[in-house]
Amino acid sequence: MNQAVKRSWWKEGIVYQIYPRSFQDSDGNGIGDIRGIINRLDYIKSLGVDIIWLNPVYESPNDDNGYDISDYRSIMSDLGTMEDFDELLEGMHRRGLKLVMDLVVNHSSDEHRWFQESKSSRDNPYRDHYHWWPAEKGTPPKRWSYFDVESNAWKYDATTDAYYLHYFSIKQPDLNWENPKLRQEVYDLMRFWFEKGVDGFRMDVISFISKDTSFPRLPDDAVPDDFISMYANGPNLHKYLNEMNREVLSNYDVMTVGEAPGVTLENALDLVSEDRGELNMFFHFDLMTLDRAPGEVFKMNPNGWSLKEFKRIFSEWDAVFARKGWGSVFLNNHDFPRTVSRWGNDSPEHWRNAATMLQTFLLTMRGTPYFYFGDEIGMTNIRFDRIEQYKDINTINMYKKIATEGGDLDEFLLDQKDAGRDNARTPMQWDETDNAGFTKGDPWIEVNSNYKKGVSVVAQENDPYSVLNYFRRVTAVRKAHVGLVYGSYELLNVNNENVYAFLRSHDKERYLVLLSFSTQNEALTIPGHLNYNRIEKLISNDLIKDDETYKEFLLRPYQAIVYKLS
């Protein structure tokens, strides 16, 4: 192992992300809740994961499913009570699981007390908790908004004759980090949760918190994708994260992972290099935009994506963290379509191998692997047909915008079948009873009907060959081989368009990972410079010949094999 890399629990842990609204309802109101998660802790533990990242559970009017927080210190009533939360944390810790919460402090809800005060008068003490542009200065310089029906990030408010800034919906006003009082409020609320014993934070769009408050004019021809780099890495980002680390994070043994659109290979280490004292890890967006149309954030590229580019992205990012800092590896989350539908293949013929191959990939890469609930049973995109089926403010407001502008709504709906965030938000498929055992009431969003066709925990639990049981085996393989966590990474067969092959090396141990992204059988020759006498299979999702000495491989469609070389 690279001696410079210090071992730690958040490097060796496997993360399992839970979108609470969609995981398990316990009281029949159709919305997943904290007690539902408590009831499933033994299941979660059985997967071999270590860290749970919980999407926001704080009080919220739910304009954006909890990413619009109206009280950072209380639990959303739909999801339960603070007593439930305490019991969840205790139940997790008792099982050796860690809990990472979502910290959403680029913006709050407009129903937060701070904003209510802030908007009430220009001289209110909370005025500067947010960004205001007085109307007498004229129309504010254009800023693009993710969820606004007019894509306009400034909203006029007559009470004080001023515009407030909202990068996301009009109900998500951006907090003003340039104000030291606001920063102290944030540090206080972080301490509140750390004192309860939570083990870390995933930080929502943390790369956007610092703004140039002179709000310069941006190029008139900027497209949505351009705004990401214009919003990210503001002038005081590192100053604030460093301060946060000094004042709060450094006092606890906790993990931090920033959601960091706009952070690049070039400036990555500024955020996570140990000597900087900022964050532990972050999520970059290079993979998440690989299949998007040029200049767009939410629209699919009709030309698809190529495995060579996919490999390039993972290889370049691995190299950045080879000596300093630490990476996160992930294929989806609650903002993107389902893993197997997006990067694999969800046809009946290939679904099982594709889902397990992608699991194998994340668990054999360097960096902390993140899984999204349902990945372990191979949940797929629901592909809604009608706008009425969608619940996501992003899809709904884009639809309204296109309708107003007279655009092509059918084309939009077709695109959303692959791009829509709600694909990832349909309920967990537990069993084959009504609503997949998610709720006894009416689910807040439709359940994917394939819960009756093998995509459920119950259908897979006793099948040794299932996606679920493969997941348990492959998490165990990672746990048993620390070299898969810390070992160096070398990409092999760089130009192969259908197979991703790489080598992990750690002290004297070497692991060869072969992953087919193809619907055909693929023959592969491992480059000559790789010398080995013996090859031992650690795991595969399909049949292979065991224990031979060879360099020629024949992979079945979407086959994954991990060998130990000696």
| 535/13 Cα distance (integer angstroms) | 27
Residue 402's H or E segment, with its range, is helix 393-405
CB of residue 372 to ligand NOJ, shortest distance in Å: 12
Q: Does 562 bind ligand NOJ (CB under 6 A)?
A: no
3-state SS class at 15: strand
CB of residue 400 to ligand NOJ, shortest distance in Å: 17
CB of residue 468 to ligand NOJ, shortest distance in Å: 26
Nearer of residues 67 and 390 to ligand NOJ, judged by Cβ: 67
CB of residue 294 to ligand NOJ, shortest distance in Å: 22
Sequence-separated (6 or more) residues with CB below 8 Å from residue 504:
364, 366, 483, 484, 487, 488, 489, 490, 510, 511, 513
Nearer of residues 132 and 298 to ligand NOJ, judged by Cβ: 298
Nearer of residues 80 and 261 to ligand NOJ, judged by Cβ: 261
Q: Does 144 bind ligand NOJ (CB under 6 A)?
A: no
Q: How many Cα atoms sit within 13 Å of 370 on the Cβ side?
A: 21
Q: Does 67 bind ligand NOJ (CB under 6 A)?
A: yes
Q: Dig out the tokens for 398 from the structure.
A: 């884009």
Strands 328-330 and 162-165: unpaired
CB of residue 67 to ligand NOJ, shortest distance in Å: 3
Nearer of residues 37 and 104 to ligand NOJ, judged by Cβ: 104
| 456/136 Cα distance (integer angstroms) | 58
3-state SS class at 462: coil
Sequence-separated (6 or more) residues with CB below 8 Å from residue 113:
70, 71
| 492/529 Cα distance (integer angstroms) | 10
Nearer of residues 204 and 415 to ligand NOJ, judged by Cβ: 204
CB 154 within 8 A of CB 141: no
| 384/242 Cα distance (integer angstroms) | 43
CB of residue 69 to ligand NOJ, shortest distance in Å: 9
Write out the binding residues for ligand NOJ, residues 251-280 only, by CB under 6 A.
259
Nearer of residues 71 and 87 to ligand NOJ, judged by Cβ: 71
Residue 328, beta-bridge partner list: 368
**Total residues interacting with ligand NOJ, rule: CB under 6 A:** 9
Tell me, letter by letter, the H, E, C secondary structure of 344-394.
CCCCCCCHHHHHHHHHHHHHHCCCEEEEECCHHHCCCCCCCCCHHHCCCHH
Lay out the site mask for ligand NOJ across 9-48 (x = CB under 6 A, - = otherwise).
----------------------------------------
Q: Does 168 bind ligand NOJ (CB under 6 A)?
A: yes
Q: Does 104 bind ligand NOJ (CB under 6 A)?
A: yes
Smallest Cα–Cα separation from 276: which of 238, 249, 244, 322? 238
Inter-axis angle of helices 467-480 and 351-364, nearest 10: 20
Residue 311 to residues 236, 317, 515, Cα–Cα distance (Å): 33, 10, 11
CB 268 within 8 A of CB 254: no
CB of residue 334 to ligand NOJ, shortest distance in Å: 6
Write out the binding residues for ligand NOJ, residues 335-394 only, by CB under 6 A.
335
DSSP letter, residue 5 = P
Q: Dig out the tokens for 508 from the structure.
A: 């004297």
Catalytic residue set:
204, 259
Span between the terminal Cα atoms of the chain, in Å: 17
CB of residue 258 to ligand NOJ, shortest distance in Å: 11
Q: Report the residue closest to ligand NOJ, judged by CB.
A: 67
**DSSP string across 521-536:** -EEEE--TT---S-EE
Q: Does 285 bind ligand NOJ (CB under 6 A)?
A: no
Lay out the site mask for ligand NOJ across 318-337 (x = CB under 6 A, - = otherwise).
----------------xx--
CB of residue 371 to ligand NOJ, shortest distance in Å: 16
CB 535 within 8 A of CB 547: yes
Sequence-separated (6 or more) residues with CB below 8 Å from residue 279:
203, 206, 241, 245, 256, 257, 258, 271, 272
Q: Does 64 bind ligand NOJ (CB under 6 A)?
A: yes
Nearer of residues 104 and 513 to ligand NOJ, judged by Cβ: 104
Write out the binding residues for ligand NOJ, residues 175-234 only, by CB under 6 A.
204-205
Nearer of residues 345 and 381 to ligand NOJ, judged by Cβ: 381
Q: Does 422 bind ligand NOJ (CB under 6 A)?
A: no
CB of residue 490 to ligand NOJ, shortest distance in Å: 33
Nearer of residues 175 and 205 to ligand NOJ, judged by Cβ: 205
Residue 71, beta-bridge partner list: 59
Nearer of residues 208 and 558 to ligand NOJ, judged by Cβ: 208
Nearer of residues 40 and 107 to ligand NOJ, judged by Cβ: 107
CA dihedral 505→507→509→510, nearest 10 degrees, is: 20
CB of residue 501 to ligand NOJ, shortest distance in Å: 32
What is the chain's length?
566
Q: Enumerate binding residues for ligand NOJ (CB under 6 A).
A: 64, 67, 104, 168, 204-205, 259, 334-335
